[in-house]
Chain A
Amino acid sequence: MKIKNVLFLFVFAMSGAVCFGQDSTAASASVEERIDEVKGQVDGINETILDMKSTLDALKKIKISGYIQAQYQAADKDGAASVAGGNFPATAHERFLLRRGRVKFMYDNDLTQYVMQLDAVPSGVTIKDVYVMVKEPWMRAVSLTAGVFNRPFGFEIEYSSSMREAPERSRLFQTLFPGERDLGAKIEIAPESGAFSWLNVKLGLFNGTKNTLDETDNFKDVIGRVGFSLPFTETNLALDGGVSGYFGKVRTDDGKQIIKVNSATGYEVSTDPTADRTYIGGDLELYYDIPSFGGFSLRGEYISGKQPGAAGSSSYHAVGGGDTYLRNFMGYYVTYVQNIGTKNQFVIKYDVYDPNTDLSGDDIGLAANKSTAADIKYSTLGFGWIYHWDGNVKFTLYYDSVKNETSKNLSAFTDDLKDNVLTFRVQYSF
């Protein structure tokens, strides 16, 4: 009996063990299957992530930036002529103005770049920059840029309007380089490191017609700058500067003359088929960090040369505009910017533009020398305050006090014009 009971218990126990073993094996197999399944899912997710990453890496090369400048302006009188955003309407001396609405698209493939910048304001959408940049891969120091882009002259042209402290460029640059850009190609040598990292050379060939306008002659304008940048990091002082040149020609219109407005008592006439457009300039920028206060910069630029313009304008001669008026000009500006902490900046700027250095005062406006309002010298003292709200938004309050040369022989310029302008601007940039 006992043996039977023992045998029964043994068989029962064994059958239970076998059953348990079968369950355990089945469970183990099930866990392995689950692990394989999860592993497969993880591998699938990894593949998806890698695929997304390659897409994301490509998208990272696309960079979009831009800024909007909206402003309120008040001038001394209705219809004031101004270079601070354009002349005021004839019946208004206050206005709201959307000065710039820029958006810039860049595909940055490190050694090559595609760039397009548009300006969208109520008066329309215009192209500002469209160019391709290619950099050599060996030293990464030499690059070629072709398309529509800033002319490589001086300092102020390439200083972005979104960063500039004064709302507008100097009258000098607005007159000589309207729109700042031109169609052409340039070579730039700018070593990123090494013994010559302080050097920067730019040399380009351009149509000379400004911005996106078609070429009108077979003369290409040569524009270049040799610059230096000396950082003294231990003392937190930097000295930058450069020498620039513009050597171009403009074609005179068929049957038209070149009028050289270069004397109080008369003028010279030439029938040369071209007139020289020659500028020589120099710029210097000093930066220094004042302890417990903030950094300051003192920047200045001087340009002189020959400018082929029109009878009523000292801007560059456009073909189809009649006789070419050739004038010797001079201009400069000095800007002082003081950072106060990291949020506030104070700026004071003085600029002078004399479109005709051979004439002054009452000599201007005489029929005998063919001078006009285009020969009047201007000086502007501007000062303002900038508050950086955050990384995107800044407010600018700026006042331009404009003085002009007077001449009793020009009825509109017998006295200083009422053309001072106050600007209050808010800018959003990203």
Chain B
Amino acid sequence: MKNILAALVIGLMVFGFRGAEETITVKGSDTMVILAQRWAEIYMSKHSGVNVQVTGGGSGVGISALINGTTDICNSSRPMKNSEREKLKKRYNTLGVEVKCAKDGLSVYLHESNPVRELTLEQIKGIYTGKIKNWNEVGGPNAKIIIYGRENSSGTYVYFKDFVLGGADYISSMQSLPGTAAVVNAVSKDKYAIGYGGAAYAKGIRLAKIKKDANSPAYEPNPENIKSGNYPITRFLYMYLPSRPSGAIKEYIDWILSPEGQNIVTKVGYFPVK
């Protein structure tokens, strides 16, 4: 039996420590996918020995991939849940490493012709939970509100639900779309539609000004208001790793947090963390 044991140990160790490739896989948030692609393209153009592969799928999908070991880095537009950290603990014996890599103002999209210019958080909650059904209840025309949102694998879906809806369930008639670009596209074609997503995607639609409550001033999601924290729906965008990074992954993350990497954040339409 000792011979069998020795052979198996040697075999497994040789097998287990095969040479690693300089390929970094990044998976997760659809909100962050354009930003992540820009980072990857520019980084690879300056570091020829590194291959960064970026895919979306949603924050939940990215976190699942991180837990089961099929991605090196997970992009997430929401913080990791306790239950997800528990799974990381079981697989990697760590809590995971959280890197805040950008800030985002979560925007509420309206059609360009919609006369409604501003909404309170309470009104948005009312619309998305079904208490408010007609635009005339929030100062608009007498027309039914058509509601668009994201799928439940999306970090934006979870963040919006937790932060804006206070954990309440979305109205069942909400049309869930597979990406923020799809939400923008849908709202741009529907006069009485409302949607939500990252500011970086806001092309061809109007961004509503948001008020904390009826007595507060309304703020639009521009860089000043998001940086100052005046805009009420501001969130961090995250990168998660199973454990403290080293080698090529550490160099890549250090570069993302450098002035050069953070400059790309601004160019894409998000806001730097530093």
Contacts and interface: CB of A to CB of B under 8 A. Distances in A.
B246 A292 contact: yes
A294 B243 contact: yes
Contact of A339 (B8, B13, B92): B92
A399 B5 CA distance: 8
Q: Interface residues of A: mostly helix, strand, loop or mixed?
A: strand
A388 B94 contact: no
Given A385-B13, A395-B12, A422-B5, A296 B93 contact: yes
Contacts of B69: 342-343, 388, 390-391
Interface stretch (B39-47, B81-89, B101-109, B253-261): B81-89
Contacts of B5: 399, 422
Contacts of A192: 81-83
A295 B92 contact: yes
B16 interface: yes
B98 interface: yes
Given A236-B244, A289-B244, A343-B69, A297 B93 contact: yes
A236 B94 contact: yes
A397 interface: yes
Given A342-B242, A385-B9, A390-B69, A295 B94 contact: yes
Nearest to A240: B89
B1 A287 contact: no
A243 interface: no
Interface residues of A, number: 46
B4 A74 contact: yes
Interface in A328-349: 337-339, 341-344
A391 B68 contact: yes
Interface of A: 50, 53, 74, 76, 140, 159-160, 163, 192-193, 197, 229, 231, 233, 236-238, 287-292, 294-297, 337-339, 341-344, 385, 387-388, 390-392, 395, 397, 399, 420, 422, 424
Interface residues of B, number: 38
Contacts of A231: 82, 85, 95
Contacts of A295: 92-94, 242-243
Contacts of B93: 287-289, 294-297, 337-339
A235 to B, nearest CB: 9
10 contacts: A160-B90, A197-B82, A288-B93, A289-B93, A289-B95, A294-B243, A342-B69, A397-B9, A399-B5, A422-B8
Interface string B1-30: 100110011001101110010000000000
Interface string B62-96: 00010011101000000001110110011111111
Contacts of B96: 236
Contact of A391 (B4, B70, B242): B70
B97 interface: yes
4 nearest A-B residue pairs (beta carbon):
A295-B94, A295-B93, A391-B68, A297-B93
B114 interface: no
Contacts of B243: 236, 289, 294-295, 339, 342
Nearest to A60: B152
Contacts of B4: 74, 422
Given A294-B92, A339-B93, A424-B8, 16 more contacts: A53-B176, A163-B90, A192-B83, A197-B82, A233-B98, A238-B95, A288-B93, A289-B93, A294-B93, A295-B92, A296-B93, A341-B20, A342-B69, A343-B16, A387-B16, A399-B5
Contacts of B13: 385
A344 B17 contact: yes
A292 B244 contact: yes
B11 to A, nearest CB: 9
